[in-house]
Structure 1
Amino acid sequence: MTDSSLRERLRKALPTAMKARDRVATSVLRATLAAIDNAEAVAPADGSPGSLAIEQVPIGAGATEVARRALTEHEVEQIVRAEVAERETAADEYDRVGHPDRAEQLRTEARALAAHL
């Protein structure tokens, strides 16, 4: 991962947003970074601790650790674009039901995130 990767830009933007007390940017950056982290999670295979009897569960620090999936830059970008699209769609729905204040908040989040693409 290079310093100019999208994930790194988002990570570097988070403390800047926090120092600026920009709640919208801080919130959307945290949520998006969490979405990226969640996408790296590996689904448990058969025989995982969740499906074993208590006496068969591995014991010890790291006994159940598995390597996380490595996302490509394209996959990270797709996640970020999906987060932007999700906020824009929700904003349209809030406008439709008469909540323009919430719609504008979501659009502000979408713009703050889109600025990093």
Structure 2
Amino acid sequence: MRSKDTAAISAIRSAMAAISNAEAVPAAELDTRGGSGPIAGAVGVGAAEAERRHLTEDEQVGIVTEEVRERDAAADELTLAGQPEAAERLRAESAALRGLLG
């Protein structure tokens, strides 16, 4: 991020957010009845806290790979739509994420 490469920064932040979202426990799995916390029937901040899932390295790589695929597909669509500058930005983001994958 120190290089001020805005495309790389944007792509990395987006990938980090996608990984963070994947670590979240689905709402359907949360116990929202409130009977198991320190205050029975509690409602509000922290009432439905749950430990986040721990993704394997393969799962994280899969998420970043999907981010690359989505950017490539969107760049192709933007090129066809006559928006080469926007397409080039997405390709730069895709390249930055590929660099993380090795």
TM-score range, shorter chain: 0.7 to 0.9
Contact 2:68–2:97 at 8 Å: present in 1 too?
A: yes
Unaligned runs of at least 5 residues, structure 1: 1-16, 50-55
Matches within 5 A, 1:1-117: 17=1, 19-44=2-27, 45=29, 47-48=31-32, 57-59=41-43, 62-117=46-101
Instruction: Give 5+ residue unaligned stretches, structure 2.
Output: 34-39
Residue identity in the other structure for 2:54: A
Pairs aligned (count): 94
TM-score normalised to structure 1 length: 0.72
CA distance, structure 1, for counterparts of residue 80 and residue 44 of structure 2:
53
Give 1:62 shift. 3.8
Structure 1's 98 and 60: CA in aligned 2 closer, same or farther, altered over 3 A? closer
Alignment-mate amino acid for residue 88 of structure 1: D
Which moved further from structure 2: 88-97 or 20-29?
A: 20-29
TM-score by length of 2: 0.82
Per the TM alignment, residue 48 of structure 1 is displaced from its structure 2 partner at its CA by 1.9
Change (3 A) 1:61 1:95: closer
Q: Percent identity?
A: 45
Root-mean-square deviation (CA, aligned residues, Å) is: 2.0
